[in-house]
Amino acid sequence: MTTKESILRNKLDSELRNRSKDIVKAIQHIEETGEMLDDFLVPSKKLWFDNNGKVSMGFQDQSMGLHPNAIYQLATRFGINAKDLQREATGKKWEREVFTNRLNAYATESQGRNLLVRKVGPDAKAILSDRYRRLNTAMIFLSFLTAAQKAGSTLVDATHGDLRDFLEVIHPEIVEIPTEKNGVIHTVFGAQIRNSDFGASKLELRLYQMNVVCLNGMVSKQMISDVHLGSKIEETGHITFTEETMNADTKARALAVRDIMDSLYSVENLTRERERIIEASDIELDFPETIKRLPKMGVNQGEVGLLTKTLMENNPEDGLQGKNTLWKMAQGLTAVANKVENEERKRDLQDIASGLINEYVK
**DSSP string of 268-297?**
HHHHHHHHHHHHHHH-B--HHHHHHHGGGG
Sorted by where each begins, the domain ranges of the chain are 3-32+135-228, 47-129, 275-360
How far, in Å, CA of 6 to CA of 127, rounded? 51
What are the distances in angstroms from CA 290 to CA 99, 319, 349? 40, 19, 15
How far, in Å, CA of 171 to CA of 178, rounded? 20
Q: pLDDT (tens digit, 9 = 90+) per residue, 253-283?
A: 888 888 888 888 888 888 999 999 999 999 9
Question: What's the pLDDT score for residue 182?
Answer: 96
DSSP state of 193: E
The amino acid occupying position 313 is E
Phi-psi map region of 42: left, alpha, beta (phi>0 left; psi -120 to 50 alpha): beta
| b/e code 182-219 from CB counts within 10 Å (16+ = b) | beebbbbbbbbbbbbbbbbbebbbbbbbbbbbbbbbbb
Q: pLDDT (tens digit, 9 = 90+) per residue, 224-240?
A: 776 555 444 344 344 44
Question: What's the pLDDT score for residue 18?
Answer: 74
Residue 150: exposed, middle, or buried by beta-carbon count in 10 A (0-12, 13-18, 19+)?
Answer: exposed
- For residue 187, the cross-strand partners are 175, 211
Question: What's the pLDDT score for residue 83?
Answer: 93
In which residue ranges of the chain is pLDDT below 50? 230-240
Alpha carbon 361 to its chain's center: 22
Ramachandran angles phi, psi of 104, nearest 5°: -65, -35
Question: What's the pLDDT score for residue 1?
Answer: 59
Question: What's the pLDDT score for residue 111?
Answer: 63
How far, in Å, CA of 50 to CA of 144, rounded? 42
Question: What's the pLDDT score for residue 57?
Answer: 85
SS3 assignment, position 48: strand
